[in-house]
């Protein structure tokens, strides 16, 4: 290992005399300006087109091929694989996107991010950088300062500033390396082999956490003649692997979904980079001799794109199996009931966070529906856990409610768009009604047990009536909940059904046989149970209404007065 470090040191620092002459402050300033420019481009593009890109990803990732193409296109336009990864993580965590689609986007983004190398190789070394970087900085800076209070113009200005700084930083690094090349003797290092240069690219990228910066330095060194073409291709492979190590280290302390995506990204790059290194000579020969790309700078970026494309072709056919492998990793049990909200690691993407909250609320509704079944033991025997099943289910509902409210409170601290606030409030109405339904049922569950085991025919018949009414209502509610198309007519029918059930029970109680067999206190209890059963089902209808129907229609139904208070 010490030998490798010595080689890397020798390559980085050819001699004390040369280092004294090397303008390292200009080189480091160029690196800093380049990285700052990239960060400004990322921020500007994320603000300008973040939502439209997220919509594009949601609507165009239902197949492996579409997911891969989406990853390529979005990353090429955004020029930030980290932003694409953040969007992808949020969508998978929210239940919007499958792991297979997420992996397709991730491996596609690896190819999309190589566009930056093409931009740098074409514009950074073939034209006078000052001729377009200075106008970008001038126009961008003036736009940002004069129109800073307007979001879109200020971000366009920020975007121009970012590109201007990126190319200006490249120019600083290029000119400082050009001076070094005049006194640098490459011959002593010609026999070190590609492994050493791969490690140099790997270590440098791991330190600065930017494969794009490593690519720029590699192209600058190649353009100046400091390194050879084979050394440059090896450094590009090392940079590709180095950025994945950074992502892996960053993802491991995170939530399970983040760990799975980070592991998938690492394994993809590891396999791809091993293949690229083994077949480096055949691939470069194909690029230079078959494709006829003689320019070494263009050949290096073509090599970078080529081995990422090869990786995609290898992984694409088995992406679903790869996804299942990852989904079986990091399955350590957690104290949480929620399945979606705890997969959101950042509230920056509020739209995905709200979708995760809605999906979690859908799970809460399912739990409340199951609670209704358990109240009358209308579940498959394998799910019946004895006398405590209802109580355990109710505690599960309460715990999930508390997790939802904690997530809601955190989300409220973010800057939300007006339409997002409306969606959030509608979701919380669902939670409120669902919990009211569960609470009403919990209050009468002991009375239902008493009726079931009373030993009095009239009370046992009453219990069977409650059981039959509830069973039919829940069956119809589930049909509405699961339907692909919804309309208000279905809600009106459900409301009429529970009203009829509520009106029929007093008729049963008023029968002479019932009045004769049942003590007055139990008659009063029976009427109370009937009222609470109505309240339970009414609240569930309102919860379904606000969960499924658009906000305006949901409020219209709630204000129609069809369903009682």
Write the CB contacts of 525 (distance below 8 Å, at least 6 apart in sequence).
Answer: 447, 450
The tally of CA atoms less than 13 A away on the side-chain side of residue 503 is 7
112-145 in b/e burial notation, b at 16+ Cβ within 10 A?
A: bbbbbbbebbeebbeeebeeebeebbeebeebbe
State how far the Cα of 151 lies from the Cα of 356, in Å rounded to an integer. 27
pTM of the prediction? 0.63
What is the structure's pLDDT at 298? 92
Rg of the Cα atoms in the chain? 32
Which residues of the chain, if any, have pLDDT below 70?
A: 1-22, 46, 49-54, 79-83, 86, 90, 93-95, 126-127, 129, 177-191, 209, 246-255, 331-337, 345-349, 379-387, 561-565
Report whether 74 contacts 56 (CB < 8 A): yes
3-state SS, residue 423: helix
Tokens of 118: 């093409």
> Is 194:152 a contact under the CB 8 Å cutoff?
no
DSSP letter string, 261-318:
HHHHHHHHHHHHHHHHHHTHHHHHHIIIIIS----HHHHHHHHHHHHHHHHHHHHGGG
Distance CA(185)–CA(178), nearest Å, equals 13
Residues ≥6 apart with Cβ < 8 Å to 162: 37, 38, 39, 40, 41, 42, 43, 44, 140
Q: Tens of pLDDT along 161-181?
A: 988 888 788 777 777 766 655
Q: How many CA atoms lie within 13 A of 187 on its CB side?
A: 2
Q: What is the pLDDT of residue 443?
A: 92
Rounded distance between C-alpha atoms, residue 562 and residue 77, angstroms: 51
Look up the CATH number of domain 341-558: 1.20.58
Burial 281-311 (b: 16+ CB within 10 A, else e): eebbeebbeeeebeebbbbbbbbbbbbbeeb
Nearest Cα neighbor of 402 from 338, 343, 340 is 338
Kindly provide the b/e burial profile for residues 516-543, where b requires at least 16 CB atoms within 10 angstroms of the residue's own CB: eebeeebbebbeebbebbbbbbbbbbbb
For residue 200, what is the enclosing H or E element?
A: helix 194-208
For Cα atoms 112, 113, 115, give the angle at the middle one, nearest 5 degrees.
80
**H or E element that contains 473:** helix 457-482
Residue with the two structure tokens 């165009």? 60
At which residue do the structure tokens 């690029």 appear?
Answer: 287
Q: So where are the chain's domains? A: 2-327, 341-558
Is 211 buried (19+), middle (13-18) or exposed (0-12) by CB count in 10 A? buried
Contact present, 124 and 219 (Cβ < 8 Å): yes
**Tens-place pLDDT, residues 30-79:** 878 877 887 787 777 767 765 666 677 777 777 888 889 988 888 887 76
pLDDT, residue 5, reads 42
Q: What does the pLDDT read at residue 435?
A: 94
Residues in the chain: 565
The rounded Cα 455 to chain-centroid distance in angstroms is 56
């Amino acid at each position: 290992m010490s030998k490798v470090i010595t080689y890397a040191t020798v390559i980085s620092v050819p001699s004390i005399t040369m280092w004294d002459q090397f303008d390292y402050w200009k080189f480091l300033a160029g690196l800093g300006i380049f990285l700052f420019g990239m960060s400004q481009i990322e921020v500007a593009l994320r603000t300008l087109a973040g939502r439209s890109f997220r919509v594009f990803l949601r609507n165009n990732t239902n197949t492996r091929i579409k997911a891969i193409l989406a990853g390529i296109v979005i990353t090429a336009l955004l020029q930030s694989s980290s932003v694409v990864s953040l969007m992808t993580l949020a969508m998978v965590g929210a239940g919007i996107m499958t792991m297979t689609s997420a992996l397709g986007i991730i491996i596609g983004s690896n190819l999309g991010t190589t566009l930056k190398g093409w931009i740098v190789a074409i514009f950074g070394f073939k034209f006078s950088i000052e001729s377009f970087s200075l106008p970008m900085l001038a126009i961008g800076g003036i736009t940002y300062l004069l129109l800073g209070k307007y979001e879109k113009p200020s971000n366009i200005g920020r975007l121009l500033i970012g590109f201007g700084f990126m190319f200006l930083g490249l120019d600083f690094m290029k000119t400082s390396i050009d001076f070094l090349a005049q006194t640098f003797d490459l011959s002593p290092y010609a026999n070190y082999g590609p492994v050493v240069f791969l490690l140099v690219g790997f270590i440098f990228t791991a330190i600065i956490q930017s494969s794009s910066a490593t690519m720029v330095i590699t192209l600058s060194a190649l353009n100046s003649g400091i390194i050879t073409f084979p050394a440059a291709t090896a450094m590009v492979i090392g940079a590709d692997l180095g950025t994945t190590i950074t992502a892996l280290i960053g993802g491991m302390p995170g939530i399970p979904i983040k760990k799975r995506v980070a592991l998938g990204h690492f394994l993809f790059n590891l396999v791809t980079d091993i293949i690229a290194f083994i077949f480096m000579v055949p691939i470069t020969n194909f690029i230079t001799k078959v494709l006829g790309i003689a320019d070494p700078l263009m050949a290096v970026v073509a090599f970078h794109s080529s081995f990422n494309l090869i990786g995609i072709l290898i992984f694409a056919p088995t992406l679903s199996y790869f996804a299942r492998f990852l989904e079986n990793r990091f399955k350590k049990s957690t104290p949480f009931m929620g399945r979606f909200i705890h997969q959101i690691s950042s509230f920056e993407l509020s739209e995905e966070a709200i979708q995760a909250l809605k999906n979690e609320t859908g799970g809460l509704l399912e739990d409340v529906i199951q609670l209704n079944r358990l109240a009358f033991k209308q579940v498959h025997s394998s799910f019946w856990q004895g006398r405590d099943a209802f109580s355990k289910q109710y505690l599960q509902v309460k715990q999930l409610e508390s997790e939802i409210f904690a997530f809601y409170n955190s989300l409220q601290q973010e800057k939300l768009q007006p339409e997002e606030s409306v969606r959030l409030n509608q979701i919380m109405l669902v939670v409120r009604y669902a919990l009211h339904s569960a609470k009403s049922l919990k209050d009468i569950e002991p009375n239902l047990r008493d009726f079931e085991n009373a030993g009095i025919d009239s009370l046992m018949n009453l219990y069977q009536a409650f059981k039959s009414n509830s069973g039919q209502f829940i069956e119809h509610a589930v049909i509405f909940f699961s339907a692909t198309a919804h309309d208000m007519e279905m809600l009106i029918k459900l409301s009429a059904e529970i009203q009829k059930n509520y009106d029929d029970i007093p008729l049963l109680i008023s029968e002479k046989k019932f009045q004769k067999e049942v003590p007055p206190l139990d008659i009063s209890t029976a009427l109370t149970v009937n009222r609470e059963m109505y309240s339970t089902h009414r609240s569930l209808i309102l919860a379904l209404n606000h969960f499924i129907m658009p906000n305006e229609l949901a409020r219209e139904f709630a204000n129609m007065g069809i369903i009682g208070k």
